[in-house]
Amino acid sequence: MRAVIAPRRQQRQDSGAGSVRLAERVSRIRESGILAVLIVFVAVTTLVKHRFLDTSNIQFVLVDTTVFALLALGETMVVISRNVDLSVGSVVGLSAYLSTDLFAQHPGIPIPVVFLAGLGIGLACGLANGIMVAAGRVPSLVVTLATLYIIRGIDILIVGGSEVDASSLPNAFLDIPKDTIGGIPDIAIAVAVVIAIGAYYLRTYRSGRDLYAIGSNPEAARLAGLPVGRRVFTAFAVSGAIAGVAGVLWGAQYGTINSTAGTGYELQVVSAVVVGGVAIFGGSGSVTGAALGALLLSTISSALYVLGISPFWDQAIWGFLLLLAIALDQTITARLTAALRKNARSRQ
Amino acid sequence: MSTSTGSLTELKRPLAERLGAALRWETGLAVVVILIFGIGSAASPDFLTGNNLFNLGLSNGEIAIMTLPMTLIVISGEIDLSVASILGMSSALLGYLWARGWPMPAIFVVIAVVGIAAGAVNGLLVTRLRLPSLAVTIGTLALYRGVATILLGPNTVSNFPTAYTNLGVNAVPFTGNDITYSTLIFIVLAIIFGVVLHATPLGRSIYAMGASQEAAQFAGIRVKRIKTILFMISGFICSLAGVLWTFRLSTAVQNNGLGLELSVVAIVLLAGVSIFGGKGSLIGVVLAVLAFAGIQNALLLTNFNQEATGIVTGGLLLASVFLPTVLGPAVGRWLRRLSHT
Amino acid sequence: MTRRRARKLALALPIAATVAVAACSSSSSSSSSSAATNTSSTGSSSTGASSTGASSTGAAATGSLKSGLKVFVIPKNLGNSYFTTADSANSGGAISALSSLGETGTETSGNSATPASQIPAIQAAVSRGANALIVSATDPTALCPTLESAMHRGITVVTYDSDAPTCRSMFINQASTAQIGTSEVDVLAKEIGDSGQIAIVSAAASATNQNAWIGYMKTELKKYPKMTLVSTVYGNDDPTTATQVTQGLLQQYPNLKGIISPTTVGIAAAAAVLDTSKYRGKIALTGLGTPDEMKKYVSDGTVKEFELWNPASLGYLAAYAAVELASGKITGASGQSFTAGKLGSYTVGADNTVLLGPPFVFSSSNISQFNF
């Protein structure tokens, strides 16, 4: 069976290469699209109020974006495979408390250990999600909605009325969101690097590209021999682990951690990812776009404050942009599908 | 939302067979509801009191009402995450117009129109522009909540006349002090929606388009029109829920109902309605509402870790997807083996 | 099963369920009303003298207080350390006072500081046979229908920390509202040299207590003509929101000199934002904070002084007031007085309000002595 398929696969790969290049070019256009919106926003705001580009403002925007950009990275991987992870907010909350509580219970614990603990907590949640979705073959929307409730419930059970205060946290930890190199916050650079790695992985590695195939057509992917279950499982595990790390960063940023940490983040992350050009039914989009989406969200809030426009317009503007992005993506996808079909037909 | 390509035979599946399949999860759910009410009354003598059931209706009435149009939308293969934002927007409108001296009947008309319009926007974006409803309604969730925020800002309006706030908090007269207006509305709407869904051609069309949009279209069902109407009905009902909510709290504030959409979706999924469309029943939704409200209430009454509410709800939700796919076929096979011996 | 019968079944079930529920409720409504009369007969008594079955520990001054009362403490929300201190037994708060009086105290509430989340907890407390409710109101009016119906059933309703002025018998105020408002402004004025732009980071826009204090702050500001209040923002007692609105202030008003945050969640969030060398010392921050949350910021100079009171004492006092009321010893009218255990005696002031005492100023010199 394999011998028969192999040469066919080679031929398909040749004709596929052109399609892949086309898809990638579109993806890059979409990314530049959101970058363009971002630049326009920043430019207009700066023209009106020069201090929008002050280092302090930039720092606010970048630091505020870090948690969401990280969550967007994990969420993108999941959404590309035609799934969704609604439990990220609850994972952030659980990880934020349990990891920072380590500082309170074991003073002097090294900071990297705490980050590892957060990653572990998130990973455990992600594994649970992954097993249920991949092995159980049940819709991820339902599973992650359930784990959203369950994880938050566990968080509240554990935390109760207590909280971790800034005085229990070492200064070095609280300084993490504040340290800068040349005016740019360290963690922003770190997160940008992580996003770049994620983008490279998704574009280059087989396991990354498989996610796109699975998202485009799960049945076809299965029939083509892709290890669908394993890929989806990994995507959820990674999403959970990243959310765990984001939780630790949350603790460093806010300093006071109780059972409400991370509440409501899931819809913000999904919407950032959609604005960033990731199709909600999977198969297309990029991590870079999603991170830019998260950045745009923080930029708009900041711009409104600086311009003195009531921040109450924030949500409405964001909602409008979301709808615009969805409509735009649909048009692009329709045109791209038509172009790919023409491409495939002309090669046969 | 449906991923299957489907065929015409999907449409021809007899109602009885479909109902039979659905009833399997609903029976389980009925058992769960009985269990919850049983455990609740055993743990607390106050559980089955008329007063407590009245409170149950008060706290969950609006959510329960919102689950009804959501059920139809999900069965038709879409989803509406903007329900809580439409509730919030109508609440904000109510406060905004009242503070500016509009007469209440006029306000009601405006709210109804705006609710229907909000639903229409959802419907048109989904059917005419062919955008995925999951993404669209996340967008309108933000947009409508944004409108509510713009209307009221940080302000609250609370000087509503008691004649109206009584609609939110009092029992319906002549029913023995135990049924809230929202409960009564829920019961009436549940019956209407139930009849439409299970006993009319429209209901059958909704199942059909959920099972396979293309097949339904080929069968002559006006999918786009029906879906748009479903979204408009949802918008209207959520606006109504917003009015009830505002009167119950006698406060209009921008964050009224924030986050409720997840509860509404959770209840509908708990009812055994498939997220892919084409499957589910209204009895299930009524039972799921009872289960959801019952859990919260029982935990509050016993103070046994009311934080555990989420865990129980989440657990039931998982059961609702795993049991039919895992247990159902297993039980079926076992029954078949029995009948062969 | 034929189609028709299946359809009939589909219709019958919800109707049957509804009828069953109605039947259950109507059959037990009589028992619920008798429970209510039972409650009211133990909850209130004609006069304070020689009540039957009233035993209590402690001094003769509390001799005629009822014991065995079911009291529910309902803060704005659970998971807020300020309320945990005010309410719990270990910190010497409301529940410890209730236990020492021989009552059953339970803390309950929702998870977000909104009326929609608090009301079900109040209703559940009523259902569970509460004799008294001690409530910190998330909203001045939204709770009234629920609280009034509780009072109609003979349940004592007392508010603490945040008032619902038209639907309670007494309000236990942590300190004079005027004094909190004016002292906050005075503390900040001292720190910024009586001039400059200031802003307020409050809690929820509807919160009774914060709004009352802000009212007095605005009046006191008139004494400082060179200080301007440029904005009041609302953090909703949520760390993320409070952080965002504080950052928004810094972005909108680059010349901001001082911030007042009369809510512990708000001041903690604002302190975290200001805790960098760029802002420390340039923007003064004060408000109402708990010593535990503020220790770090006081030690590194982000916050110089802030105020609070002892939340545990507030809860303790509220518990005594509620039991006194429920035992019929006082009616809550102004001029009456009662003894609140180890806190001593208190007199009810205007508007049925009891004041705990003056606000306490925390600073680096005394903060290490406190652990809440």
Domain at A66, CATH number: 1.10.3470
Question: Which chain C positions have a beta carbon within 8 Å of B177's beta carbon?
Answer: 29
Q: Which two tokens stand for residue A21?
A: 């290049």
CB contact under 8 Å between C272 and A64, yes or no, is no
Q: Which chains touch C (3 or more CB pairs under 8 A)?
A: A, B
What is the C-alpha to C-alpha distance for residues C27 and C33, in angstroms, rounded to an integer?
Answer: 11
What is the C-alpha to C-alpha distance for residues B277 and B73, in angstroms, rounded to an integer?
Answer: 8
A 67-96 → B contacts, CB under 8 A: 84, 86
Residue A347 falls inside a structural domain: no
Q: Which two tokens stand for residue A231?
A: 């890929």
Q: If pLDDT is split at 50, 70 and 90, which confidence band does C14 have?
A: very low
Q: Among B249, B262, B292, which would you mutate to test the C interface (most chain C Cβ atoms within 10 Å of its Cβ)?
A: B249
Q: Among B127, B318, B322, which would you mutate to test the A interface (most chain A Cβ atoms within 10 Å of its Cβ)?
A: B318
Mean pLDDT of C152-157: 94
C327 and C280 assigned to the same domain: no
- Which region holds residue A110: left if phi is over 0, alpha if psi is between -120 and 50, else beta? beta
The count of domains in chain A is 1
| Displacement of CA C157 from its chain's centroid (Å) | 13
Q: What is the pLDDT of residues A108-123, one digit of tens each?
A: 999 999 999 999 999 9
Contact B168, B240 (CB under 8 A): no
C255 and C292 assigned to the same domain: yes
Q: Over 90: is that where the pLDDT of B233 sits?
A: yes
Average pLDDT taken over every residue of chain A: 88
Residue C304: give its domain's CATH number. 3.40.50.2300
C 173-212 → B contacts, CB under 8 A: 205-206
Contact A157, B307 (CB under 8 A): yes
C202 and C132 assigned to the same domain: no
C284 and C265 assigned to the same domain: yes
Q: What's the pTM? A: 0.84
- Which region holds residue C111: left if phi is over 0, alpha if psi is between -120 and 50, else beta? alpha
Mean pLDDT of C93-116: 90
The count of domains in chain C is 2
Q: Over 70: is that where the pLDDT of C139 sits?
A: yes
C76 and C146 assigned to the same domain: yes
Q: If pLDDT is split at 50, 70 and 90, which confidence band does B170 have?
A: confident
Contact B180, B58 (CB under 8 A): yes
Q: Over 70: is that where the pLDDT of C3 sits?
A: no
Of A171, A255, A305, the CB nearest to C251: A305
Mean pLDDT of A143-165: 90
Q: If pLDDT is split at 50, 70 and 90, which confidence band does C63 have?
A: low
Question: Which chain A positions have a beta carbon within 8 Å of C295's beta carbon?
Answer: 165-167
Mean pLDDT of B310-319: 88
Compute how many other C-beta atoms are within 10 angstroms of the C-beta atom of residue A199.
20
Q: What is the pLDDT of residue B99?
A: 94
Q: Over 50: is that where the pLDDT of C40 sits?
A: no
What is the C-alpha to C-alpha distance for residues C132 and C111, in angstroms, rounded to an integer?
Answer: 22
Q: What is the pLDDT of residue A169?
A: 93
Residue A7 falls inside a structural domain: no
Mean pLDDT of C307-313: 92
Q: Over 60: is that where the pLDDT of C36 sits?
A: no
Q: What is the pLDDT of residues A187-238, one digit of tens each?
A: 999 999 999 999 999 989 999 999 999 999 999 999 999 999 999 999 999 9
Q: What is the pLDDT of residue B215?
A: 93
Of A147, A271, A323, the CB nearest to B314: A147
- Tell me which chain A residue has its CA closest to the CA of residue B152: A312
Q: What is the pLDDT of residue A311?
A: 79
Q: Which two tokens stand for residue C359?
A: 């606000």
Lowest mean pLDDT among A177-186, A339-348, B287-296, C306-315: A339-348
Q: Among B175, B297, B306, B309, which would you mutate to test the C interface (most chain C Cβ atoms within 10 Å of its Cβ)?
A: B306
Q: If pLDDT is split at 50, 70 and 90, which confidence band does B56 have?
A: confident
Q: What is the pLDDT of residues B88-146, one digit of tens each?
A: 999 999 999 999 999 999 999 999 999 999 999 999 999 999 999 999 999 999 999 99
CB contact under 8 Å between A323 and B134, yes or no, is no
CB contact under 8 Å between C11 and B297, yes or no, is no
Q: Over 90: is that where the pLDDT of B63 sits?
A: yes
Helix axis angle, B282-302 to B15-43, nearest 10°: 10
Q: Over 50: is that where the pLDDT of C160 sits?
A: yes
Q: Over 90: is that where the pLDDT of C162 sits?
A: yes
What is the C-alpha to C-alpha distance for residues A128 and A242, in angstroms, rounded to an integer?
Answer: 14
Q: What is the pLDDT of residue C185?
A: 95
Q: Over 80: is that where the pLDDT of B308 sits?
A: no
Owning domain of residue C181: 177-308
Q: If pLDDT is split at 50, 70 and 90, which confidence band does B341 have?
A: low
Residue C347 falls inside a structural domain: yes
Q: What is the pLDDT of residue C22?
A: 40
Q: Over 80: is that where the pLDDT of A272 sits?
A: yes
Q: Which two tokens stand for residue B85?
A: 């934002």
For chain A, how many helices (H) and strands (E)? Answer: 13, 2
A 302-341 → B contacts, CB under 8 A: 310, 312-320, 322-323, 326-327, 330
Q: What is the pLDDT of residue C306?
A: 95
A 202-221 → B contacts, CB under 8 A: 218
Mean pLDDT of B188-210: 96
Lowest mean pLDDT among A307-311, C67-71, C97-101, C227-231: A307-311
Q: Over 50: is that where the pLDDT of A148 sits?
A: yes
Tell me which amino acid residue B285 is: V
Compute how many other C-beta atoms are within 10 angstroms of the C-beta atom of residue C331.
13
Lowest mean pLDDT among A96-100, A250-254, C34-38, C234-238: C34-38
A 5-64 → C contacts, CB under 8 A: 51, 54, 56-57, 60, 64
Q: If pLDDT is split at 50, 70 and 90, which confidence band does C8 have?
A: very low
Of C79, C243, C300, the CB nearest to A258: C79
Residue C57's φ and ψ, nearest 5 degrees, are -85, 170
Question: Which chain A positions have a beta carbon within 8 Å of B146's beta carbon?
Answer: 312-319
Q: Over 60: is that where the pLDDT of B203 sits?
A: yes
Question: Which chain B positions have a beta carbon within 8 Å of A297's beta carbon?
Answer: none
Q: What is the pLDDT of residue A334?
A: 80
B 282-321 → A contacts, CB under 8 A: 305, 307-315, 317-318, 320-321
Residue B252's φ and ψ, nearest 5 degrees, are -105, 120
Q: What is the pLDDT of residue A251?
A: 94
Q: Over 60: is that where the pLDDT of C52 sits?
A: no
Contact C329, C278 (CB under 8 A): no
Q: What is the pLDDT of residue C19?
A: 41
Determine the distance in angstroms separating the CA of A306 from the nearest CA of chain C, rounded to an integer: 5
Q: What is the pLDDT of residue C50?
A: 35
Q: What is the pLDDT of residue B123?
A: 97
Average pLDDT taken over every residue of chain C: 83
C281 and C320 assigned to the same domain: no
| Displacement of CA A177 from its chain's centroid (Å) | 19
CB-based contacts of B163-167 (< 8 A; 24+ apart in sequence): B164/B104, B164/B247, B165/B247, B165/B248, B165/B250, B165/C145, B166/B247, B167/B244, B167/B247
Domain edges within chain B: 8-332
Q: What is the pLDDT of residues A120-138, one digit of tens each?
A: 999 999 999 999 999 888 8
Q: Over 60: is that where the pLDDT of A145 sits?
A: yes
Residue A102 falls inside a structural domain: yes
Q: Over 90: is that where the pLDDT of A290 sits?
A: yes
Q: What is the pLDDT of residue A312?
A: 85
Of B191, B251, B296, the CB nearest to C141: B251
What is chain B's length?
341
| Cross-strand partners of C5 | none
Q: Among A158, A314, A315, A328, which would you mutate to test the B interface (most chain B Cβ atoms within 10 Å of its Cβ)?
A: A315
- Tell me which chain C residue has its CA closest to the CA of residue B176: C26
- Which region holds residue A283: left if phi is over 0, alpha if psi is between -120 and 50, else beta? left
- Tell me which chain A residue has its CA closest to the CA of residue B266: A145
What is the percentage of chain B residues whose pLDDT exceeds 70?
Answer: 89
ipTM of the complex: 0.86
- Residue that wins the pLDDT comparison between C48 and B73: B73
Q: Which residue is it, tokens 């010349």?
A: C255
Residue A345 falls inside a structural domain: no
Q: What is the pLDDT of residues C323-341, one digit of tens each?
A: 999 999 998 898 999 999 8
Owning domain of residue A241: 35-313
Q: Over 60: is that where the pLDDT of C61 sits?
A: no
Q: What is the pLDDT of residue B27?
A: 84
Of C11, C129, C145, the CB nearest to B250: C145
Residue A348 falls inside a structural domain: no
CB contact under 8 Å between B50 and C25, yes or no, is yes
Residue A15 falls inside a structural domain: no
- Residue that wins the pLDDT comparison between B299 and C143: C143
Determine the distance in angstroms separating the CA of B77 from the nearest CA of chain A, rounded to an integer: 14
Of A145, A160, A280, the CB nearest to B134: A280
Residue C39 falls inside a structural domain: no
Of C78, C112, C243, the CB nearest to A254: C243
What is the percentage of chain A residues whose pLDDT exceeds 90?
Answer: 55
Determine the distance in angstroms separating the CA of B41 from the nearest CA of chain A, rounded to an integer: 23
Q: What is the pLDDT of residue B21?
A: 57
Average pLDDT taken over every residue of chain B: 87
Mean pLDDT of A275-297: 91
Q: Over 80: is that where the pLDDT of C6 sits?
A: no
Residue C337 falls inside a structural domain: yes
Residue C290 falls inside a structural domain: yes
Q: Over 90: is that where the pLDDT of C31 sits?
A: no
Determine the distance in angstroms separating the CA of B291 from the nearest CA of chain C, rounded to an integer: 12
Lowest mean pLDDT among A140-144, A249-253, A267-271, B309-313: B309-313
Determine the distance in angstroms separating the CA of A175 from the nearest CA of chain C, rounded to an integer: 8
Mean pLDDT of A172-193: 91
Question: Which chain B positions have a beta carbon within 8 Å of C25's beta carbon?
Answer: 48-50, 53-54, 176, 178
CB contact under 8 Å between A253 and C272, yes or no, is yes
Class of domain B8-332: mainly alpha
Residue A60 falls inside a structural domain: yes
Q: What is the pLDDT of residue C45?
A: 34
CB contact under 8 Å between C124 and B14, yes or no, is no
Contact C46, C328 (CB under 8 A): yes
Q: If pLDDT is split at 50, 70 and 90, which confidence band does A143 have?
A: very high
Q: What is the pLDDT of residues B176-185, one digit of tens each?
A: 777 889 999 9
Q: What is the pLDDT of residues A58-75, one digit of tens each?
A: 888 899 899 999 999 999
